[in-house]
A and B are shown apart, each in its own frame.
Chain A
Amino acid sequence: QKEVEQDPGPLSVPEGAIVSLNCTYSNSAFQYFMWYRQYSRKGPELLMYTYSSGNKEDGRFTAQVDKSSKYISLFIRDSQPSDSATYLCAMSGGGSNYKLTFGKGTLLTVNP
């Protein structure tokens, strides 16, 4: 079992839809959880950063972490064609165990 599991999709939705992206993990030491967005032929860019369990909202984006279930989610409201990209979850243990472990990424296409 890989440390981080992420459904690679692809996921195709109409413009304006609510998108839900998810990752599960097996390492209970993970404390920092991130979502990166990667456009085609570009490097990843940090989208959301959360610590421990709970929710974090930034505009149309909401990140949720449920450490008891080892499950993290990213919700995109009112999705736009410009949201079309690969979304990578990433996590680390913090402290001396800060090495990032990435998921495979989910390819999202938002159709106008």
Chain B
Amino acid sequence: EAEVAQSPRYKITEKSQAVAFWCDPISGHATLYWYRQILGQGPELLVQFQDESVVDDSQLPKDRFSAERLKGVDSTLKIQPAELGDSAMYLCASSFAANTGELFFGEGSRLTVL
């Protein structure tokens, strides 16, 4: 069964360090999403790609977060410098089309900032 792959599953870092997360969506899915989920909260969209183009990054803290999907396939989310409040689960999801709520999520990357 096709899955969204994410790595690393767990990351512990100290504040002010750089951290990066990688996502490989389901093959053929043109739309890719990065969500942040704080413990006890629902996922919140950070950035949405359609192929290699950013469609929505209105909630991405651009002073420290960056995301890219250079070839329209896999994607990287970077945080530099990490802050204590960045501790959360970072979820990648993909969908066949942009105007559907049928998202397929990866298992997530749990970040702890000390």
| Cβ A103 vs Cβ B42 within 8 A | yes
Please give the number of chain B residues whose Cβ is less than 8 angstroms from any Cβ of chain A in the complex. 23
| Cβ A44 vs Cβ B101 within 8 A | no
Size category of the binding interface on chain A: 20 to 34
Q: Mostly helix, strand, loop or mixed at chain B's interface?
A: loop
**Set of chain B residues within 8 Å of A41, measured between Cβ atoms:** 107-108, 110
Interfacial residues of chain A within 79-105, with CB under 8 A of chain B in the complex = 88, 90-92, 94-96, 98-100, 102-105
Given B41, B42, B93, which contacts A43 in the complex, CB threshold below 8 Å? B93
**Set of chain B residues within 8 Å of A7, measured between Cβ atoms:** none
Given B41, B48, B99, which contacts A104 in the complex, CB threshold below 8 Å? B41
* Given A41-B110, A43-B91, A88-B42, residue A99 in contact with residue B103 (CB < 8 A): no
Name the residue of chain B whose CB is nearest to the CB of A4: B42
Q: Is B14 an interface residue (CB 8 A)?
A: no
**Set of chain B residues within 8 Å of A44, measured between Cβ atoms:** 43, 91, 103, 105
* Complex CA–CA separation, A94 to B98 (angstroms): 10
Q: Is B61 an interface residue (CB 8 A)?
A: no
| Cβ B42 vs Cβ A102 within 8 A | yes
Q: How far is the CB of A39 from chain B (nearest CB, A)?
A: 10
| Cβ A34 vs Cβ B101 within 8 A | yes
* Given A102-B43, A102-B44, A105-B42, residue A43 in contact with residue B102 (CB < 8 A): no
* Complex CA–CA separation, A43 to B113 (angstroms): 20
* Given A100-B45, A104-B40, residue A45 in contact with residue B105 (CB < 8 A): yes
Interfacial residues of chain A within 49-104, with CB under 8 A of chain B in the complex = 49, 88, 90-92, 94-96, 98-100, 102-104
Interfacial residues of chain B within 84-107, with CB under 8 A of chain A in the complex = 91, 93, 98-107
| Cβ B107 vs Cβ A43 within 8 A | yes
| Cβ A99 vs Cβ B56 within 8 A | yes
5 A-B pairs with C-beta separation under 8 A: A6-B42, A43-B4, A46-B102, A92-B101, A104-B41
Binding site for A on B (CB under 8 A): 4, 40-45, 48, 56, 91, 93, 98-108, 110
Closest 3 CB pairs of A and B: A102-B42, A43-B105, A98-B99
